[in-house]
Amino acid sequence: MGLQEVARLIASGDVSPVELTQRMLDRIAKVDATLKSYATMMAEQALAAARAAEQEIRAGKYRGPLHGVPIAVKDLCYSSGVRTMGGTPVLKDFVPDFDATVLSRLYEAGAVVLGKLNLTEGAMAGYHPDFDIPVNPWDASRWAGVSSSGSGVAVAAGLCFAAIGTDTGGSIRFPSSANGVVGLKPTYGRVSRFGVLPLAESLDHVGPMARRVADVAIMFDAIAGFDPKDSTSLRDSAESSFGGLPRGVEGLRIGFDREYALAGVDGGQAASIEEALKVLTSLGARIVDVRVPDMTGIPEAWFLLCSSEAVAAHSANYPSRATEYGPYFREFLQFGAAATETQLAGARKIRGDIARRLTAVLGEVDALACPAGGAPAWPISKETQYGSMTAYNAALAARSAASDPPLKRPTVFTMPVSLAGAPAICLPSGFSADGLPYSIQFVGRHLSEPVLCRIAHAYEQATSWHTRHPTAS
């Protein structure tokens, strides 16, 4: 079931939050031994929260659609009294004494938090050899996405009804795509980052992942809003993303650059996007030809900025404990530490240019359609899991070179959006012949999450992709 479906059953008294939470905990104990999505379980706290929710609901104090619903959070979010490791052994004993704002808001909404979810080391691309790697429930030999991989796997496999992920250059959208779920990267500053371990302060976004667009909208409405504890938090108010879903897409303009979106993309993935646009046209949307700015140098600029900011974020442990980091993240930090001010100034200029030009394109339409970059999930290898940064990049380059035509770098669909701080949502758009999910991404203007959710919801409800789930038992 989707979150909204189970919420209705809880609200009506047909389902007990306590019984549901216990069932979820039992399922995790059985299934996650193979899938490895959870880093830390919070069973005692979850059952206590479920009992409290059940009592409140029986007393007529229903808080809304998250009340009593079991969810989970990425293990970057501070959780009072519960370790927050960030996928790295240098933080394996770190136990915060307060909750991240995003977690506090979920608690205020009555959500039941089952536990903390696995991720790549430091929320970058590679895993630390001492940590488990989440397994794609559609195919264990395929990629589960990057840092929010545990969130994507847990949602897809029915181990929580929604999850919190983070996205610095694609880490909500990649795992959502690879695992066939819905992911929303909000406008930069729309969701507080206070109490969330940083990768790159100027690029990090916190957002929801779930099996339905409505569920993502419910989660987003609960966690969005100004937070004085986060200096980058936006004061802008916005309409309810969930409340606007029934408005549909009649009259909305969806921009599409065929060359940018489809050249060098998996053929089945490209066909699914073209078919999705036909569906949206039949629902009253208008597809508008646009020209996306040249993306030359964007991944390189993102990498320079992200790595240099990661060095600052890890200054308490790097370089003093450099040997304790895994191969990928250690090399990533070394790269950032070696970046010169001239290089960074050039990267900042590229960032400013792409942000300005992408914002101009988005000003012409209500949303831009393109791939999310993470589908179909590619075959994994030791190099793309526990390998060094050099080995990881070489493995991806070899994968592209083996394709005919060579595949476009998937980051070209995610990193520019992160650099511009624009919101984006991705959701399933089909399946490959071998049963792997395809996805489509919609990118919008700043603070346009309600519009993006409307577009995604209308498409989802007109198709049946969201009704397919992996076999995880």
- Residues 261-316: tens digit of each pLDDT: 999 999 999 999 999 999 999 999 999 999 999 999 999 999 999 999 999 999 99
Question: What CA–CA distance (Å, rounded) separates 325 from 336?
Answer: 15
pLDDT at 404: 65
- Residues 105-146: tens digit of each pLDDT: 999 999 999 999 999 999 999 999 999 999 999 999 999 999
Query: What domains sit in the chain, N to C, each tagged with a CATH number?
Result: 3-296+347-467 (3.90.1300.10)
- Read off the pLDDT of each residue in 424-433 and give the average, rounded to a whole number: 98
| Chain centre to alpha carbon of residue 279 | 25
Q: Does the structure show a pLDDT above 90 at 14? A: yes
Q: Which two tokens stand for residue 317?
A: 């442990």
| Chain centre to alpha carbon of residue 107 | 20
Strands laid side by side in the 70-74 sheet: 38-41, 112-117, 70-74, 162-167, 205-210, 182-185, 424-431, 437-443, 367-370, 253-256, 286-289
Question: What CA–CA distance (Å, rounded) separates 355 from 418?
Answer: 9
% of the chain surpassing 90 pLDDT: 94
Q: Does the structure show a pLDDT above 80 at 406? A: no
Is 171 among the catalytic positions? yes
Is 37 among the catalytic positions? no
Please say whether the beta carbons of 235 and 226 come within 8 A. yes
Better-predicted residue by pLDDT, 216 or 400: 216
CB-based burial label for 6 (10 Å; 0-12, 13-18, 19+):
buried
Is 282 among the catalytic positions? no
- Read off the pLDDT of each residue in 338-360 and give the average, rounded to a whole number: 98
Identified catalytic residue from 147, 192, 418, 439: 147
CB-based burial label for 201 (10 Å; 0-12, 13-18, 19+):
middle
Please say whether the beta carbons of 302 and 352 come within 8 A. no
Q: Parallel, antiparallel, or unpaired: how do β-strands 162-167 and 38-41 relate?
A: unpaired
Identified catalytic residue from 16, 36, 37, 74: 74
Residue 274 one-letter amino acid: E
Q: Does the structure show a pLDDT above 90 at 398? A: no
- Residues 156-201: tens digit of each pLDDT: 999 999 999 999 999 999 999 999 999 999 999 999 999 999 999 9
Q: Residue 64 forms beta bridges with which residues?
A: none
- Residues 34-59: tens digit of each pLDDT: 999 999 999 999 999 999 999 999 99
Residue 376 one-letter amino acid: P
Buried b (16+ CB within 10 A) or exposed e, 330-352: bbbbbbbbebeeeebeebeebbe
Identified catalytic residue from 79, 148, 171, 272: 171
pTM: 0.97
pLDDT at 324: 98
Q: How far apart are the first and last CA of the chain?
A: 16
